[in-house]
Structure formats: structure tokens, C-alpha cells
Structure 1
């Protein structure tokens, strides 16, 4: 009997802790906080909610310092869609990072630069989308939809940057754009799966 009571009490404490961590993440997302603050809140939530996903993220070499870059990994994925990253795509990704208050002197910014120079694994891109989807899932549907839309719009900006490449003058823009738009569509679909939305929402 005592064991059952203690078990219920432990479960109640665990549920309460989970709700507190989720509330912290929701607050950071609603405040449109800095990416490093959102990363810390999401890490704490994943420690309770999905430790396996957190472990996979760490195994990919993502640290607290570089986590803000991880949130922008979909932009890097779009930049690599054409097989190489153009100078316009690179500057668009880094400009969007600066716009999200990632300091050019920070480890996160250096990580983005590294990923733009050497293509990361598909596993890193896929895991980043899982982490983002988990973070967005705590929000009410309208706010979640807005978050996904904002990220997908940023991906479109990277895709559009490919059009300013010299390849445009050689008549290759259509092929490059098609490849990048396909990746944007995949990112959009994956972010919406499991969040109660259809990909077309």
C-alpha cells in the first residue's frame, strides 16, 4: 500500500516537473527569446520528455554553445540542395542567423560557417527537424503553425538566393530552384507531421 502511494507521489512529482519544463519552453518561444535561451529550455524539456532524442543530438556533436545553429540547420540543408553552397546562399543563411541574434563571434555562428563549408550528414538534418518539431509541439495550434511558417519562409529565402548565382545566367536557375524548393517542401512536411496539422496547412 505504502509502495503504491509513494509510486503515485513520484509520478505526480514527475508530471509536475515535466509541466514546469514545458511551461518554461512555451514562455521562451512566446517571448521570441534568443535562440540560446530557447535551446536551454528545450534541452531541459527533452531531458524529461525524450532523453533518447537528446542523446542523439549530443552524439552529433551539438553542444549548449552550438545549439542555436542546430535550430537553423534546415536553412543549411536548403543551401546544400543544389549540391554546393553559393556565396548568395551562404550570406543569406548567415544574415538570417545574425537576425536571430547569433553573434558572429559565437561558437554557434562558427558552427554554421563550418556546415556551409562542409555538408553535414542527413542524420544531422533529420535530427534537427525532430528537435524543432518537439519544441514547436508545446505551442497551441495557431502559434505552432506560425512558428513553422516563419521557419519555412526563411528556407524559401535561402532557396531564392540560389537565383542570384552566376548559374542563373547559364540557364540553370530552374533546375537549382526546383531542387531547393523540393527540400523546402520536405522540411515543411516533416515539421508538420505529428503536430496535428497537415502539410498543406
Structure 2
């Protein structure tokens, strides 16, 4: 009888140390979202949330009221910093879908953001305000999609559906607000294509 092949100890160690794909995606998203110049905003966000438990933190930064979805996010290891990124990246990219953000659009989008709990004076609002002036790198969108795909594998199907629906609804509100402000009251083809792109990332 041939003895089974012995796995070298070095291979076992490497296996134990292999990075968790979900954790890698989370770190990449946060690093892309909170670049060096945004560290003060990140520090403010953490200070504001320090006294709250994790579920309350997620509710505060997301506006999500569904306790099951919040609990599922907590169990999946989603932190408030990551959830801020999950929430704002699609809004910013939909705003830039037509290649520019006019002042009238910017005003409408910020008003729409305030209506969905991204309030003036908050770190999230300041980031959104900045990115409506200077478009973030496409690397941020890539990091967002990769993280969402990993997150969707960790959440129950109903919570994935809820997060996907929220992404679509918020993007549509922002896109419609910009169009309505300009008297068009419609979502452009480029905006809709971007919304569809973000929605597909939640599909598993």
C-alpha cells in the first residue's frame, strides 16, 4: 500500500496565511474610497460613530431601517466605512455618467442626497460634494464592484435583493433629480446604463 503524499509544512503555513478574498476586497474599496487626503473625514466619521453599536453605526451611515438587513451586514463583517463607500460610489458615478456635472445638476444631486440621509456637514456629504467637482478614479468603481460581488456571496438572498433595490432606488432619485432640475424630468440613457451596471454587480 502506498503511503499518502505528505504535504510540506511550508505549504500548510502558506495555506493558513492565504488572504481572505472578501477582506482583500473590503480593504481595496476602503483604500480607494478614503484616499490620503480624506483621512480627516474618515477620522471624523469614526469619532461620530464611536458611541454607537455596530448595527446603529450602519443604520446611521446608510439610512437602512430594515433590522434584518442591518444584522446580516453586521454578521458579514461590513463596517460603517465600507458601507459609506457602498452607498456613495454609485451616486457619484451616476452623476458623472454624462461626462460632466453642471452646477444646476450638482445642486439638485446634493439636495437629493440630503433627502436620502446624506446630510450637509456629515463626512459622507463632504465627500460627495468634493467628488461632484472632481470625478474619482475608475479604480474606485472597480473596487466597489469587486467588493459587492464578494459581499453578495456572504448575505442571504433577501438581503442581497434589498441592497440591490436600494442601490437602484438611490441612483434613480439622484439621476431624476438632476434631470428634473433641468426641466427634463427624465433619466438619460448614459445614467440608466450606469445604474444597470451597478445593479448587475449584486447579482450572484
- TM-score class, shorter-chain normalisation, is 0.5 to 0.7
Structure 2 counterpart of 1:78: 94
Mind listing any 5+ residue stretches in structure 2 that lack a counterpart?
A: 1-5, 46-80
Mapped to 1, the partners of 2:117 and 2:141 lie a distance apart of: 17
Mapped to 2, the partners of 1:117 and 1:69 lie a distance apart of: 19
Query: Relative CO higher for 1 or 2, CA cutoff 8 Å, sep ≥ 6?
Result: 2
CA RMSD of aligned residues (A): 3.4
Mapped to 1, the partners of 2:30 and 2:189 lie a distance apart of: 33
More helix by share: 1
Mapped to 1, the partners of 2:124 and 2:108 lie a distance apart of: 20
Give 1:60's match in structure 2, choosing from 32, 35, 39: 32
1:97/1:182 CA distance change after superposition, 3 Å: same
1:95/1:118 CA distance change after superposition, 3 Å: farther
- Once the two structures are superposed, residues 80-105 of structure 1 have per-residue CA deviations (whole angstroms, 9 ceiling, x without a partner) of 1122151212321343243xxxx643
Number of corresponding residues: 149
Structure 2 counterpart of 1:30: none
1:69/1:97 CA distance change after superposition, 3 Å: farther
Provide the TM-score with structure 1 as the length reference.
0.58
Structure 2 counterpart of 1:183: 194
Deviates more, 1:149-158 or 1:129-138: 129-138
Are 1:133 and 2:144 counterparts?
A: no
1:188/1:111 CA distance change after superposition, 3 Å: same
- Once the two structures are superposed, residues 23-72 of structure 1 have per-residue CA deviations (whole angstroms, 9 ceiling, x without a partner) of xxxxxxxxxxxxxxxxxxxxxxxx74444434433542527826343122
Provide the TM-score with structure 2 as the length reference.
0.58
Are 1:163 and 2:174 counterparts?
A: no
Mapped to 1, the partners of 2:94 and 2:121 lie a distance apart of: 24
Mapped to 2, the partners of 1:120 and 1:187 lie a distance apart of: 16
Mind listing any 5+ residue stretches in structure 1 that lack a counterpart?
A: 15-46, 196-201
Give 1:109's match in structure 2, choosing from 106, 112, 125: 125
